[in-house]
Structure 1
Amino acid sequence: MNIEEYDETPRGHPTDEYEWDDVLSGPSAETLHDQATAQPHAMVLSSERTPLIRKALSFSNTSRTGVALLPHNIDATVQQTATQPTRPPLRHKPSSASAKVTPHNYGGKSTYGQTLFNSIAILLGIGMLSEPLAYAYAGWGGGTILIVFYGFITCYTAKILAHIILDDPRLRSYADIGRKAFGPMSTPLTSTLFCLELFALSPIDLVAASRLIPTVFMPLSLLSYASMIGIISTLSIIAVIFIDGLSKKEAPGSLWSPAETQMGIESLGGLGIAFGLFMAGFSGHAVIPSLARDMVDPQQFDHMINWAFAIATFIYALIGSAGYLMFGINVSDEVSRDLLQTPGYNPFLNQAALWMLVISPLSKFALCTRPLNITLEIMLGLETTAPPMSPDQVDPKTQHPITPHHQRNQKAKFILTIVERVVFTFLAVGVSILVPEFSAVMAFLGSFSAFMLCVIGPVCAKSALAGRWGFWDAILLIVAVVMAVWGTCAAFWSS
């Protein structure tokens, strides 16, 4: 074997090369192989650099003059060295793109914009018309601080829920998050709380029931178009409020001649009620897991939800301040009632606002009831929490053929799912007819469940899964518990 065959072999790092320039001269490299074969202990010129002389070779015999003696089996050594890489492979620094963790593919079909419309539609309309009353209880200072504070913390806790459910593809709903964080014993409590909250948003009129039944079977990507209708109706209500306020020159109900307002709080009990009224506007967290899972690119959820809560906070502050200026401390629990009862407004605009109030809840009925339907179907055994696997995740060795019994079972589940969603729709209609003051009853539950689902639950779940409490999370938990107890007691006293 000739040494010249390895002249083009990449050299090692300069720190790995031996500097033998001061060693005595010896035979040339051309005769190195022959001399080593004939005389195993022949001396080698150390100034001849070759990639074959590496740290991997063990030179056991070295003369006092610095001349290294080659080992006896140089042929085997040369052969072994030639087949080895001249230096260890380079470790490339991973790029930012490769360092990102690819989320699980949930088969989501909603784009960034569609999820944004759904998120805004969920937030708007939930207690939107009671914001002026919340300002009347808390005053200008307290109301402004509370609405900004609630917008910030609920956006933070919404991200917590999204991160938890996206990290585990087995999770489907808010109840699944509670079961993972706190164990199976928490499932009945979390399911009951968020089912009551969502069911409180569902009561509708009988005429609309038949039209809403098909919407409960639509995917979230299609429901985003209905959400756009709800957002347009909400913006129309805002426009009517400002047009009425600017068209009327004298109080009450005029933006040119504001009603009596106050900077501070009305009373401690009123402040507690304001806690619940402001928080009710941001209590859409029960739907957050469904929205996050249905995104085409879940990594954009944080950016999307920032915009959703920023827009909702701005609109709530706008409606609250406008209604408070127009009607002051005498504002009703719904500003729309004041618009209809105050003379001097354009009747056509008020009728249009009334129809917008009807369209807004109808447009998001299916969106609000989606997580509730999922929870009921899981409890009834109609759907499992395991996500569907992609074709590359299916092992052909463990795959079994579909039997006729399995097909019949799937058809039965499909039929029962249809029955469950239709029955639930008519149940919501029945509640709205038999219990007309159901919204008043849910005002208390909203004050309690909103804090539990939107702040206390997500923060506790994050800390339970992390195994430790962060400083700001602990502070946030204490503040939320105090506000929840305060608001609940105030709701009892006011009733």
Structure 2
Amino acid sequence: MKMKSSLTSPNVGFQGRWSLRGLSRLFWPSSHKTKTEPTPEMDSALCKLLIPTDLEGDNPTLHRSAEDIQSKNFSQNLSHRDKVQSHQSSFPQAVVNGINVLCGVGLLTTPYAIKEGGWLGLLLLFSLGIISCYTGILLKQCLESTPEIQTYPDIGQAAFGIIGRLSVAIVLYVELYACCVEYITLMSDNMSSLFPNAHMNLVGLYLNPHQLFSIMTTIVVLPTVWPRNLSFLSYLSAGGVIASLLVAVCLLWVGVVDRVGFHQSGTALDLANVPVAIGLYGFCYSGHAVFPNIYSSMKKPSQFPAVLIVSFTICWVLYSGVGVAGYLMFGESIQSQFSLNLPQQLLASKTAVWTTVVNPLTKYALTINPVALSLEELLPSSQAKSYYISILIRTLLVLSTLVVALTFPFFGFVMALMGSLLTMLIALILPSACYLSIMRGRLSWFQVSVCILIILLGAMFAVIGSYSAIKRIAENM
């Protein structure tokens, strides 16, 4: 099961094709050289985020990186692409990668989203899926506008210069960091459901189950973030699709085989809480940061729109099915993660909960690593090479996620905030804005109108959804 990242962990190579090289290319220009060479896996991950933006020649569509400007032989870049193309995925493999990106932790919250927004709120899940699929195709058009664009930040730079690149990268970094916070909350909530009586008195300080397991999960994940070469985790993290399907099967097993049953309940539409549902549904489709990598990994990139359509359709079916089944099973008592409602004495329930706990353990280090690398790049070169400085930065970063998780232990509302603010930017607003900028002068009035409408819709959802989520968090503090 994957936390989005967007966040999600960008390493989605189900076939083991992408290690941290693919992850790092989300944020740094792939052509930039590294300062250190710890492993081949990490050579591009240590590249600078910010680069000069001087234009070369009369190309108005792309603010080139410093190395591209200085290069006298552009065929070197083409040669690099040829090497990349030697390890490309087929259509089914690309679909699996797409599902792995899209179908993750959001699966746990869809029953709760139905509770918040009502049954008609499922139309939002469907509509946001269509819009997000369309904006994914817009990213493809941006990638094809010039061969130098390879990642999402590249698209931002091509559209709006260094400010665009910086803005896209910051949003992606914030999403990754927020995902790590949610990982800790997710694991501690489910461990608390397994061991509700666990507690500890530490030097007069009482730790309830949630606080205790938050600290314990942080201690467990901390050693996994210290190595710079995380390829040992990338293969485990590729099982996100299997984990998501297993949890969904366990839910249905509990409802049908273990006879918890399905009971009609709920309202048609709850306007007061629809904004929270918007954020939760929006979070389900925040895979756009990784779409350029899936596109570039395909043997036939022309099939990318079909890959998106199939992936979004399958994920929509899973999200809708789990949402309907979970809400019919538990009704208004449904919690922000349906795994917390499963009867703990049942084998299927224990399987679902432990899968929910173990899977994020393999994702945390991969998700926080780009954030740590970006901070290390800000250090002087002599200090950036120090492994002890790296460990210190990563330790402080992990501890900061623990502090945030303990301060805001509201999984559903924090996810709604991420879906409303970050996902609307990554999946709706930025793709449409970049497409309008890069393709300006070549679009029909209808295409321009659609993009403007998506931007306005995304902005409206972001404002009302973020306000509602922040309000609910403040009410529960």
1:238 and 2:248 correspond: yes
1:464-483 correspondence to structure 2 within 5 Å: 464-467=437-440, 470-483=448-461
1:274-289 correspondence to structure 2 within 5 Å: 274-289=277-292
**CA positional deviation for 1:175:** 2.4
Q: Which whole-Å CA distance do the structure 2 matches of 1:454 and 1:374 have between them?
A: 24
Q: Which whole-Å CA distance do the structure 1 matches of 2:151 and 2:140 have between them?
A: 10
1:288-437 correspondence to structure 2 within 5 Å: 288-339=291-342, 342=343, 346-365=345-364, 368=367, 380=378, 426=395, 429-435=398-404, 436-437=406-407
* Structure 1 residues 368 and 114: alpha-carbon distance in aligned structure 2, compared to 1, 3 A threshold: farther
| Aligned residue among 443, 458, 467 for 2:431 | 458
1:107 maps to a residue whose letter is: V
Q: Which whole-Å CA distance do the structure 1 matches of 2:130 and 2:316 have between them?
A: 9
**CA positional deviation for 1:371:** 6.4
Contact 1:165 / 1:177 at 8 angstroms: preserved in 2? yes
364-373 vs 460-469, greater mean Cα deviation: 364-373
SS in 1 for 2:239: helix
1:107 and 2:110 correspond: no
2:352 maps to a residue whose letter is: A
Contact 2:109 / 2:338 at 8 angstroms: preserved in 1? yes
The two structures have a TM-score, normalised by structure 1, of 0.62
Structure 1 partner of 2:49: none
1:116 and 2:115 correspond: no
**CA positional deviation for 1:426:** 4.2
* Structure 1 residues 247 and 215: alpha-carbon distance in aligned structure 2, compared to 1, 3 A threshold: farther
Q: Which whole-Å CA distance do the structure 2 matches of 1:309 and 1:217 have between them?
A: 29
Q: Which whole-Å CA distance do the structure 2 matches of 1:216 and 1:165 have between them?
A: 29
What's the RMSD between the two structures over aligned residues? Answer: 3.5
* Structure 1 residues 231 and 442: alpha-carbon distance in aligned structure 2, compared to 1, 3 A threshold: closer
* Structure 1 residues 198 and 169: alpha-carbon distance in aligned structure 2, compared to 1, 3 A threshold: farther
151-160 vs 200-209, greater mean Cα deviation: 200-209
Q: Deviation per CA, 1:5-58, whole angstroms, max 9, x where unpaired?
A: xxxxxxxxxxxxxxxxxxxxxxxxxxxxxxxxxxxxxxxxxxxxxxxxxxxxxx
1:134 and 2:113 correspond: yes
* Structure 1 residues 122 and 274: alpha-carbon distance in aligned structure 2, compared to 1, 3 A threshold: same
173-182 vs 308-317, greater mean Cα deviation: 173-182
SS in 1 for 2:289: helix
Structure 2 partner of 1:254: 261
SS in 2 for 1:242: helix
SS in 1 for 2:84: coil
* Structure 1 residues 241 and 232: alpha-carbon distance in aligned structure 2, compared to 1, 3 A threshold: same
Contact 2:177 / 2:401 at 8 angstroms: preserved in 1? no
* Structure 1 residues 375 and 429: alpha-carbon distance in aligned structure 2, compared to 1, 3 A threshold: closer
Contact 1:161 / 1:458 at 8 angstroms: preserved in 2? yes
**CA positional deviation for 1:449:** 1.2
| Aligned residue among 403, 415, 420 for 1:447 | 420
**CA positional deviation for 1:218:** 3.3
Q: Which whole-Å CA distance do the structure 2 matches of 1:374 and 1:117 have between them?
A: 28
Aligned residues: 350
| Aligned residue among 272, 284, 295 for 1:269 | 272
1:239 maps to a residue whose letter is: V
SS in 1 for 2:105: coil
SS in 2 for 1:285: coil
**CA positional deviation for 1:466:** 1.5
Structure 2 partner of 1:401: none
**CA positional deviation for 1:233:** 1.6
Stretches of structure 2 that go unaligned for 5 or more consecutive residues are 1-79, 185-216, 442-446
Stretches of structure 1 that go unaligned for 5 or more consecutive residues are 1-102, 383-408
209-218 vs 228-237, greater mean Cα deviation: 209-218
Q: Which whole-Å CA distance do the structure 2 matches of 1:443 and 1:461 have between them?
A: 25
1:456 maps to a residue whose letter is: I
Contact 2:416 / 2:465 at 8 angstroms: preserved in 1? no
Q: Which whole-Å CA distance do the structure 1 matches of 2:422 and 2:305 have between them?
A: 24
* Structure 1 residues 229 and 423: alpha-carbon distance in aligned structure 2, compared to 1, 3 A threshold: farther
SS in 1 for 2:341: helix
Q: Which whole-Å CA distance do the structure 2 matches of 1:370 and 1:285 have between them?
A: 19
| Aligned residue among 132, 141, 156 for 1:178 | 156
Contact 1:151 / 1:309 at 8 angstroms: preserved in 2? yes
Rg (Cα) greater in structure: 1
Q: Which whole-Å CA distance do the structure 2 matches of 1:315 and 1:309 have between them?
A: 10
Q: Which whole-Å CA distance do the structure 2 matches of 1:311 and 1:371 have between them?
A: 29
**CA positional deviation for 1:192:** 1.7
Q: Deviation per CA, 1:58-111, whole angstroms, max 9, x where unpaired?
A: xxxxxxxxxxxxxxxxxxxxxxxxxxxxxxxxxxxxxxxxxxxxx964614341
* Structure 1 residues 199 and 452: alpha-carbon distance in aligned structure 2, compared to 1, 3 A threshold: same
Q: Deviation per CA, 1:221-255, whole angstroms, max 9, x where unpaired?
A: x94x5355221121111111111112455xxx522
Q: Which whole-Å CA distance do the structure 1 matches of 2:292 and 2:117 have between them?
A: 32
* Structure 1 residues 293 and 438: alpha-carbon distance in aligned structure 2, compared to 1, 3 A threshold: farther
Contact 2:383 / 2:389 at 8 angstroms: preserved in 1? no
Structure 2 partner of 1:489: 467
Structure 2 partner of 1:76: none
1:210 and 2:227 correspond: no
The two structures have a TM-score, normalised by structure 2, of 0.64
* Structure 1 residues 195 and 275: alpha-carbon distance in aligned structure 2, compared to 1, 3 A threshold: same
Structure 2 partner of 1:95: none
Q: Which whole-Å CA distance do the structure 2 matches of 1:216 and 1:315 have between them?
A: 34
- Matched residues, percent identical? 27
* Structure 1 residues 146 and 446: alpha-carbon distance in aligned structure 2, compared to 1, 3 A threshold: closer
2:102 maps to a residue whose letter is: L
**CA positional deviation for 1:352:** 1.4
Q: Which whole-Å CA distance do the structure 2 matches of 1:439 and 1:168 have between them?
A: 44
